[in-house]
Amino acid sequence: MVLHAKTLIQDLKERTRIHITEAKKFKSLPTETLNWRVANDRWSILECFEHLNLYGDFYIPELKKRIESSKTQPKENFKSGILGNYFAKSMLPKEKLNKMKTFKDKNPIGSTLDKTTIDRFIAQQEKILNLLNQSSEIDLNKIKTAISISKFIKLKIGDTFRVVVYHNERHIAQANNLLNSKMPATKQLN
């Protein structure tokens, strides 16, 4: 898959701005609603956001380090790698979200969380927007980043951005699905 690099960056920035807007919407809900679960083994809305924060803790410093150490010049087009494209596409939400196994260190189930979890997510998204702005000055094809699941696999930075942003989109959709589920009447938005 080949994309115009500036178009890709613009799309990822727009998606990230939507994620920030969505997160702010959740902040207006009571903490009890944000911590409600459909079942004991399913995440609450805040656990969805904390999961994203845990990934942000890995990817934001990794992206920052790679961008700051880059000596490349931007290229007009970005050609997604086979593995990077696969990972990115697998993160995009589908009509019925397919379940994926979460690594233990990224699973927030049972955490004590409050609205500061959403504040942290919003702050991370502001950092991602800044990194996306900086990425317009580098070659999205040449720079490689580590990924959270393996020390041995590296993705093109353009694919890494796609994975991170699409992963955020996936779990915000999950949080919205929770909000629209059969939540007890006292916990639903009026």
User: Residue 23: which H helix or E strand, with range?
Assistant: helix 5-27
pLDDT of residue 190: 41
pLDDT digits (tens, 9 = 90+) for 63-117: 999 999 999 999 999 999 999 999 999 888 877 655 666 657 666 777 889 999 9
pLDDT of residue 94: 78
What lies within 8 Å, CB to CB, of 124 at 6+ separation is 52, 53, 56, 60
Q: Which string of b and e fits 139-155 if b means at least 16 CB within 10 Å?
A: bbbebbbbbbeeeeebb
List the structure tokens of 66: 């790679």
Question: Among 23-32, 92-101, 139-148, whose mean pLDDT is lowest?
Answer: 92-101
Task: Give the whole-angstrom CA distance, residue 71 versus residue 137.
Answer: 10
Q: State whether residue 154 is helix, strand or coil.
A: strand
* Domain map (residue ranges) of the chain: 2-187
Helices (H) and strands (E) in the chain, counts: 6, 4
**139, 147, 101, 164: CA torsion to nearest 10:** -40
- Least Cα distance to 49 among 188, 165, 164, 172 occurs for 172
Task: Give the whole-angstrom CA distance, residue 34 versus residue 53.
Answer: 16
pTM of the model: 0.90
Beta strand ranges found along the chain (DSSP E)? 2-4, 77-79, 144-147, 150-156
Q: Could you confirm whether domain 2-187 is CATH 1.20.120.450?
A: yes
pLDDT digits (tens, 9 = 90+) for 37-60: 988 889 999 999 999 999 999 999
Mean pLDDT for the chain overall? 90
